[in-house]
Amino acid sequence: MWELIRVNKRNSIILFVVMAVVLVGLGMTIGAAIDPRAWLLGGLVAAGLWLFLAVLSLSSGDQILLAASRARPVTKEVHPQLFNVVEEMTIAAGLPKMPSVYIIEDLAPNAFATGRGPHTASIAVTAGLLAKLDRDELQGVIAHEISHILHRDILYVTLAGVMLGAVLIVSEVFLRGLIYGDRTGRSRRYSGPTRRAPAQAQMILLLIAVVVAVLAPILAQLLYFALSRQREYLADAGAARLTRYPEGLARALEKIASDTSGPLAVANKATAPMYIVNPFKKGLDAWTSTHPPISERIRILRSLGNTVSLVQYAKAYYKATSRPFPIKVQDESLPVRPGQPGGLQANPKDKDRQAADLIRKVHGFRFLSCPCGLTLKVPPNYTAGQISCPRCGRRLVVAQSAAGAD
Amino acid sequence: MMVILVVVVVVLVGLILYVIGVFNQLVRLRNQVDNAWSQIDVQLKRRHDLIPNLIETAKGYMKHERQTLEAITQARSQAMGARTVGEAAKAEGALGQALARFLMTVENYPDLKANQNFLALQEELASTENKISFARQNYNDQVLFYNNRIQMFPSNIVASMFGFAKREFFEVEAPAERQVPTVSF
């Protein structure tokens, strides 16, 4: 496990440096293309941007990502089982502090973890995930996210996401500016006689800049995606190790893959690699996909047999993909435990209703059960102390909602 | 002469730095083991705190299961009054079995299973049982790291210099406890 964290830290630094080189190189070429003397200025501006983004993502990257995914912080009362499972996995991983728990109001089942490190981590899951998975499956998904925290993936994803976004924006702005600026640039070209001599060199520089601007984001993305796929496998292996029950995660992935709720509305190009499965579900080819194929992940988890360990996972990975496992691992083999039946699960028909109720709870709705059997869902802005049951007319006392601030 | 002196000093300083590094790592690992152990205690205490509520809720519904309920209460007071680690382990094992039996019998009481309060308690109980076994699992993992470090060369030299002792794994005595209780709802 320690060698794994070490490799992850090393990869993070490599990516961090490569992103910096790509960004500064891009700035320098663009600067030189605009004016041959401006290459240093371009590089400096890019370096400044890189520094600014690094500081921003280190100080509040997790909050930005959570806000961008419209995740709401919740208390234990909203979903006790989720809290319990997160706490169980925190204990199993020996994390110093339980991550903060967020719920995303979406029916598409998905989850992600973010934060700087084990002390400041957060886990966000969608309402759809909670409604559709049983306890063992939820445990598998949460264990996968806790593994991301344990392996220090979360900081890397936050940093890389912001950096990749910056490279994308810079090259896009330059390329669009070129197309747009060509119309207005004609008059400038004849403005001074001194500009005519280096015109040919200028053209070559411009060409190089265009090539770099086109290639840089592609290169950055390829590197990012390759490392991010590898991290998904490692987090799966970690989840099997933490739960001692790979079947739970395998079933969860199966359910998520066969879900028909459509893509996750709040996900975008920069946040997609954070999620446990690709939120877009498009048939992208293997090179540009942020996630390994789900069927392959399930196959590996199912072929672990009766022991879970990173070594066993690496063997199963080799058998399923006939590629060697990207990281050399060593640890003890650990026995698998029997699964436990699901606890508080309703029948499948009620699942969407359950998810909707959960979203209401997140918003501070109060649930009153009338003795006649009806459940009243009282919105947070209802301030009267009593409400009458629409079916039997009984007066029911409405407790003041604490979460109903908005 | 000067050169030899410099080399000796450099080697000595390097050696001291290495020993400090290994020592600090061993202390960190030992603290993690202790911390994991205290986590087991926290979860066992939580189990004890849950039981009175559980019995209170179940009592009204399970008139014919007085024995099962009494067994739990008795096992709990024995576990809480345990003086030695061995005693505690045995009593906690018995308590775990009594709780597993209780959760089996709940199957026969649909009214109880429909009680919202009881359902919440049942989730808490199942989760506490999980937390106990995960805390145990983590403790054993930490002991494994720690023991490997103090037995492997060359860190074992530093370990024996400062008297870092090997730790025992938490093995569960009762074979029934060894398998996670299959709690069925």
Tell me what the mean pLDDT of segment A390-402 comes to. 72
Q: Looking at the structure, do residues A109 and A32 belong to the same domain, yes or no?
A: yes
Q: A305 Cβ partners below 8 Å, 6+ apart? A: A312, A336
Q: Looking at the structure, do residues A105 and A171 belong to the same domain, yes or no?
A: yes
> What DSSP assignment string belongs to A18-62?
HHHHHHHHHHHHHHHHH-GGGHHHHHHHHHHHHHHHHHHHHHHHH
Q: How far is A133 from chain B (nearest CA, A)?
A: 15
Verify whether the Cβ–Cβ distance B138 to A369 is below 8 Å: no
DSSP tag of A309: -
Residue A202 included in any domain:
yes
Place of tokens 């083991």: B33
Q: Looking at the structure, do residues A282 and A375 belong to the same domain, yes or no?
A: no
B chain contacts of residue A340, beta-carbon cutoff 8 Å: 126, 180, 182-183
Helix axes A294-302, A199-243, angle to 10 degrees: 30
Helix axes A135-150, A246-257, angle to 10 degrees: 100
Residue A56 included in any domain:
yes
What's the mean per-residue pLDDT of chain A? 78
Model ipTM?
Answer: 0.77
Residue A57 included in any domain:
yes
Place of tokens 């049982």: B129
Q: A336 and chain B: CB distance < 8 Å anywhere? A: no
Residue type, B136: R
Residue type, A143: A
Which of A20-34, A55-69, A111-125, B55-69 has maximum average pLDDT? A111-125
End position of a domain, from candidates A319, A334, A354: A354
Domain hosting A373: range is 363-397
pLDDT at A156 over 60: yes
Residue type, B137: Q
Helix, strand, coil shares of chain B, percent, nearest 5, are 80, 0, 20
Q: Looking at the structure, do residues A268 and A377 belong to the same domain, yes or no?
A: no
Which of B120, B130, B183 is opposite residue A80, by nearest beta carbon? B120
B chain contacts of residue A338, beta-carbon cutoff 8 Å: 179-180, 182
Cα distance between residue A26 and residue A68, in whole Å: 27
Q: What angle do CA A121, A331, A3 make, to 5 degrees?
A: 55
Q: Looking at the structure, do residues A255 and A377 belong to the same domain, yes or no?
A: no
Cβ–Cβ < 8 Å for A171, A263: no
Which of B43, B123, B179 is opposite residue A343, by nearest beta carbon? B123
A101 forms bridges with which residues in the sheet?
A: A123
Interface of A with B in 360-379 (CB under 8 A): 369
Q: Is the bond preceding residue B154 a cis peptide, omega within 30 degrees? A: yes
pLDDT in tens, B132-144: 888 888 888 888 8
B chain contacts of residue A80, beta-carbon cutoff 8 Å: 120, 123-124
Q: Looking at the structure, do residues A237 and A108 belong to the same domain, yes or no?
A: yes
Helix axes A310-321, A294-302, angle to 10 degrees: 120
pLDDT in tens, A274-326: 788 877 755 444 445 667 788 888 988 888 877 777 778 888 888 887 777 77
Domain positions in chain B: 28-178
Q: Looking at the structure, do residues A176 and A216 belong to the same domain, yes or no?
A: yes
Verify whether the Cβ–Cβ distance B127 to A244 is below 8 Å: no
Verify whether the Cβ–Cβ distance A85 to B123 is below 8 Å: no
Which architecture, in CATH terms, is B28-178? Up-down Bundle (1.20)
Q: Looking at the structure, do residues A334 and A376 belong to the same domain, yes or no?
A: no
Verify whether the Cβ–Cβ distance B134 to A81 is below 8 Å: no
Residue in A with minimal Cα distance to B137: A92
Which segment of A26-40, A346-360, B18-32 scores lowest on mean pLDDT? A346-360
Verify whether the Cβ–Cβ distance A87 to B127 is below 8 Å: yes
Cα distance between residue B139 and residue B147, in whole Å: 12
- Into how many domains does chain A fold? 2
